């Protein structure tokens, strides 16, 4: 962070903002401001260059065609790589997660190269689409409570040797490989299948992104009772038999 200002970049809201993932940007922005931080939020449309000076980058989910267009434009742009090399934090959801991997299957049924920022490869699932509430244990190294989210994807994501699973599912599919993993991370680059929006359901993940950006171990606590109410409601929903 420079000038005591947190730069939050929301990538391609015109292509990747279905399923309420815009909420992730709102939650990070609000929780940063509640800690007295000056926040500059940049919503970067797909015809604009990605800035390299961001602290936290968010990428949402999307349908198959916008996902291919977003991958083409991000590859051509090239700046997200540079930002990560400079230490930026990236948090991606579903289509955004698949784009950060080595490749995925696009809307034309072809293998589409991703950005290779996560050591994962996504293929098209042969089974039914994964849809529903999810409950998962986040990697204990990250020190976070249970993950709650909503998944809606056809893609199945396989982790390579350098990717760590973000979480292990208790209810739902996550990466869809049958190995119980959900999402992945490499250093400061995170991917998850969870919508919800996931940072509204799991505000301590937003705080983790802020702590990484500020390079601190703790943040001043804030009143989370509305978040807790939402979390508890969705955790019970996930635990109901289908």
Residue positions in the annotated binding site for substrate? 129
Q: Give the other-Cβ count within 10 Å of 63's Cβ.
A: 13
Nearer to ligand GLN, 112 or 207 (CB): 112
CA distance 61 to 136: 19
The partner residues of 5 in beta bridges, in order of sequence, read 2, 38
Q: CB atoms < 10 A from the CB of 107, how many?
A: 13
Q: Across the chain, where does the E strand assignment appear?
A: 5-11, 38-44, 56-59, 89-93, 103-105, 111-113, 120-124, 130-138, 147-153, 155-159, 164-171, 181-186, 189-192
Cβ neighbors of 3 (< 8 A, separation 6 or more) are none
Q: Which stretch binds ligand GLN (CB under 6 A): 26-34, 42-50, 57-65, 181-189?
A: 57-65
Minimum CB separation from ligand GLN for residue 127, in Å? 12
Say how far residue 5 (Cα) sits from the centre of its chain.
22
Q: Which of 53, 152, 177, 188 binds ligand GLN (CB under 6 A)?
A: 152
**Is 158 part of the annotated catalytic residue set?**
no
Q: Is 92 in the site for ligand GLN (CB under 6 A)?
A: no
Q: For residue 132, what are the β-bridge partners?
A: 151
Out of 14, 43, 64, 137, the residue judged to bind ligand GLN by CB under 6 A? 64
Residue 177 is a binding residue for ligand GLN (CB under 6 A): no
Residue 165 lies near ligand GLN (rule: CB under 6 A): no
How many residues interact with ligand GLN (rule CB under 6 A)? 12
94 makes contact with ligand GLN (CB under 6 A): yes
Using the rule CB under 6 A, is 173 a contact of ligand GLN? Answer: no
Rule CB under 6 A: say whether 183 interacts with ligand GLN: no
DSSP strand pairing (189-192 vs 89-93)? parallel
Task: Examine residue 95 and tell whether it contacts ligand GLN (CB under 6 A).
Answer: yes
Give the footprint of ligand GLN on residues 10-29 (CB under 6 A): 19
| Rounded-to-integer distance, Cα 56 and Cα 91, Å | 8
The active-site residue out of 130, 153, 158, 195 is 195
* Least separation in angstroms between CB 121 and ligand GLN: 13
Q: Residues comprising the binding site?
A: 129
- Residue recorded with tokens 């802020």: 210
Among all residues, whose Cβ is closest to ligand GLN? 61
CA pair distance 194, 10, nearest whole angstrom: 17
CB of 185 to ligand GLN, least distance (A): 18
Q: Among all residues, which ones are annotated catalytic?
A: 94, 195
The binding site for ligand GLN (CB under 6 A) comprises 19, 61-64, 67, 94-95, 152-155
């Amino acid at each position: 962070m420079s000038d005591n200002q947190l730069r939050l970049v929301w990538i391609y809201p015109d292509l990747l903002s279905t399923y309420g993932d815009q909420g992730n940007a709102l939650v990070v922005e609000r929780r940063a401001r509640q800690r007295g931080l000056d926040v500059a939020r940049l919503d970067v449309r797909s015809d604009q260059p990605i800035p390299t000076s961001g602290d936290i980058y968010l990428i949402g989910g999307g349908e198959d065609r916008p996902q291919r267009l977003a991958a083409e434009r991000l590859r051509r742009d090239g700046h997200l790589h540079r930002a990560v090399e400079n230490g930026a934090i990236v948090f991606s959801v579903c289509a955004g997660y698949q784009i950060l991997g080595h490749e995925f299957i696009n809307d034309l049924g072809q293998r589409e190269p991703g950005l290779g920022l996560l050591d994962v490869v996504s293929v098209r699932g042969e089974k039914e689409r994964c849809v529903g509430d999810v409950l998962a244990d986040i990697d204990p190294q990250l020190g976070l409570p249970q993950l709650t989210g909503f998944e809606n994807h056809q893609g199945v994501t396989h982790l390579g040797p350098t990717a760590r699973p973000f979480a292990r599912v208790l209810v739902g599919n996550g990466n869809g490989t049958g190995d119980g993993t959900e999402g992945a991370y490499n250093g400061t680059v995170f991917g998850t299948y969870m919508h919800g929006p996931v940072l509204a359901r799991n505000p301590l993940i937003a705080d983790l992104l802020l702590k990484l950006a500020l390079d601190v171990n703790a943040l001043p606590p804030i009143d989370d009772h509305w978040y807790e109410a939402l979390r508890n409601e969705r955790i019970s929903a996930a635990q109901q038999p289908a």
